[in-house]
Amino acid sequence: MTEDTDIDRLLARRMARRKFVTQAAAGSTIAVLGGLYYFSDSLTREARAQTRSDGRPRLPPGQRVLSALRPMGGRPGNPKTSEFRLEVHGEVEKPFVLDFAQLLKLPQVTAHVDVHCVTGWSLIGAQWKGVRVSELARMAGLKKSARHVIFEAAHGYTANIRRREALKDNVMVVYEHEGKRLGAAHGAPVRSLVPDLYFWKSAKWLTGIRFVEHDEPGYWETRGYHNHADPWKEERYS
């Protein structure tokens, strides 16, 4: 594959995502993977009128509220809980590997949080269940040298976030959404959840959490997307 072809494909992906945002703003329904996902004008207005505890508006700029969690594609990983393994490693004193049964024995958290996709949709107040990343960091003995966290997923996909953001109470490794086990399209059996950054940071089909000293831009970050991805600053593209 030539360098020109790589650039053309990157530009095509960017244009497709921008076109989606434009079309979403003009209509109230989108069709994807054979299903319909509805933008709710009333929920959008309600969310825009609300303020978070940190003083920011509940709904970031350029977002509209969607009726249900939309599958965003990606190359699927293995959905079988019997074969799931999560490696916690890197700049830690006690690296370890968990299977699914061991994950369920850790302190569990059920939280209602909002998520925001770079394509312009948001899901408000969705229920998620899982384990806080901060709990896994505590178990592993996080070193002071760790400044960034790399979520590792199937087929080499990675997403990078800052340590202080990874250790927030609302950042989790989740296996349930709205009281049901994650579906294969949403990253089953386990995905990361980083509500305060654009949703591509919430890696599906999670296989590892690696704490590192130096930042390592992930899959989308090396393809033109913003390294930080704050929805309230509209940090979509680099």
The answer to whether residue 193 sits within a structural domain is yes
The answer to whether residue 154 sits within a structural domain is yes
The answer to whether residue 222 sits within a structural domain is yes
Residue 131 belongs to what H/E stretch?
A: strand 121-132
Q: Distance (Å, rounded) from C-alpha 143 to C-alpha 204?
A: 26
- Supply φ then ψ for residue 118, to 5 degrees: -60, -20
Structural domain including 93 reads 3-233
For the record, the structure tokens of 177 come out as: 């959404």
- Supply φ then ψ for residue 15, to 5 degrees: -65, -40
The answer to whether residue 213 sits within a structural domain is yes
Question: How many folded domains does the chain comprise?
Answer: 1
Model confidence over 71-108: pLDDT tens digits?
Answer: 888 999 999 999 999 999 999 999 999 999 999 999 99
**Distances 59 to 46, 127, 168 between C-alpha atoms, Å:** 9, 17, 19
pLDDT(165) > 50 = yes
Model confidence over 33-69: pLDDT tens digits?
Answer: 445 668 989 999 999 999 999 999 999 999 999 989 9
The answer to whether residue 150 sits within a structural domain is yes
The answer to whether residue 238 sits within a structural domain is no
Q: Are 88 and 168 in contact (CB under 8 A)?
A: no
CATH number of residue 185's parent domain: 3.90.420.10
The answer to whether residue 184 sits within a structural domain is yes
Model confidence over 133-151: pLDDT tens digits?
Answer: 999 999 999 999 999 999 9
Q: Distance (Å, rounded) from C-alpha 169 to C-alpha 150?
A: 17
What SS3 state is found at 48? helix
